[in-house]
Amino acid sequence: MKGFYKTRVYIVRHGETDWNAELRVMGQLDIPLNERGRAQAHRTAELLAHEHFDAIYSSDLVRAIETAQIIAAPHALDVLTLPELREAYYGLWEGLTRDEVLKKFPEEYAMRSLDPANFRPSGGESRKELYTRAARIFSELVARHPDQQILIVSHGGTIRAILRYALGLGPGDGHFAVDNCGVSIIDKEDDGSYEIFTVNSVFHLRELRTEDFF
């Protein structure tokens, strides 16, 4: 047992892709890291190289797998992939830029702010559905690793859902910045509650920062 927590979970968003830079909706489309995304992953690997991990999990999308493999290399651990850790499914929005979504689906886009938890893009997944999926797999992984430390590499929407769940918030509540390769840490306490230790730490990426990084 490490410190006062039963299980510590490091959660890292995947590194940057070209579609991130273009503000294009990726959702569950399989888009690889770009050069800066790989550099971000290597900086994150350096940051976490001296941590002990009992297991490393990743979404089964390539941008998350590659990030996880880079981080896992110093630990000689295999990356275990889980489709439940995927990003939200955005249906017909996937592949479009924000401007293109506004042009093609103006009424849908406007509805997002009216009922954030239940809004569903055409053919896609709602925040409530994502929240249920993310909370379930997070709880399962924590239960699988009592008194251990694990790493999860996932996606912005999924990580926000996990943070909401750990804080006792609903699927439509609150907003969290989750940058590419930002690191968050959640502790499972002895009493069964969760404590957020860190949210979206990006100090290790400071030398990679550009004007559009944040």
Tell me if 99 is assigned to some domain.
no
**Residue 111 domain-assigned?**
no
Domain that holds residue 185: 5-89+126-208
The number of domains in the chain is: 1
**Alpha-carbon span 35 to 180, nearest angstrom:** 13
Whether pLDDT at 24 is above 90: yes
Residue 64: count of CB within 10 angstroms of its CB:
29
Q: With a threshold of 0.85, does the pTM exceed it?
A: yes
Instruction: Answer whether 2's CB lies under 8 Å from 43's CB.
Output: no
Tell me: the pLDDT tens digits for 129-139? Answer: 999 999 999 99
Lowest model confidence (mean pLDDT) among 1-10, 45-54, 98-107, 159-168? 1-10
For residue 1, the model assigns a pLDDT of 41
The answer as to whether 105 is a domain residue is no
Residue 113 lies in a domain: no
Q: Residue 54: pLDDT above 90?
A: yes
Per-residue 3-state assignment (H helix, E strand, C coil) for 118-165: CCCCCCCCCHHHHHHHHHHHHHHHHHHCCCCEEEEEECHHHHHHHHHH
Percent of the chain with pLDDT over 90: 86
Give me the CATH number covering residue 193: 3.40.50.1240
Could you list the active site residues? 14, 87
Mean pLDDT for 136-163 is 97
Q: Please indicate, yes or no, if residue 10 is contained in any of the structural domains.
A: yes
